[in-house]
Chain A
């Protein structure tokens, strides 16, 4: 498809388990972002990639969270030793920076994570 694709759309896991969330951005978009959205809140920044490198990971809440983008396209958000407080919708967005900063982020539909 032409849009940002996120899988799984829903993930239910038990406290303490490891989880991976995948994002497939729009082809050719060099910038990729992960956000977390809790119920009743706006998206909260986690990490930003420019190409393969994490240009800004200041939003990751702690060292249980990690994200990679090894080939500059697909990205995986990894959460170790999940806690109930990690339950949220994890949003991925991509954008093209080739023509300068336009401010238009293209979002996927999100992965809803529930930690029991």
Chain B
């Protein structure tokens, strides 16, 4: 079956630090991979995505590369800001029907 495992939090970083949030997946087919983010008081929103192996998704300084050989989609950012404080969810989908989400990683960036 399909599933996503992501790094547990919470994660606390100082501003301008380097961020990595690990995500690995199990899938029976060839899924698309996503990172969704939930800012305080808001709904989940798409941060970035990759639809096939070796694709790199990027947005707002965040990047993640679809690695089929390691079944991973780790989220990275070179220099985090206070405004990046949020909960980050890794997800996969192989159809319109279902998305499989990880448990979420809470990030707090302190000035």
Contacts and interface: CB of A to CB of B under 8 A. Distances in A.
Interface string B84-111: 0000010101011111111110000000
Among A45, A48, A103, A108, chain B packs the most CB atoms within 10 A around the CB of A103
Interface residues of A, number: 28
B96 A31 contact: yes
Given A45-B99, A103-B49, A91 B32 contact: no
A110 B89 contact: no
B97 A48 contact: yes
A42 B101 contact: yes
B6 to A, nearest CB: 8
B34 interface: yes
Interface residues of B, number: 25
Given A40-B104, A48-B98, A103-B34, 15 more contacts: A3-B43, A4-B43, A42-B4, A42-B103, A44-B101, A45-B100, A48-B97, A91-B43, A91-B44, A101-B95, A103-B51, A106-B43, A106-B45, A107-B44, A109-B42
Given A40-B103, A42-B89, A103-B49, A110 B98 contact: no
Given A50-B96, A97-B96, A43 B43 contact: no
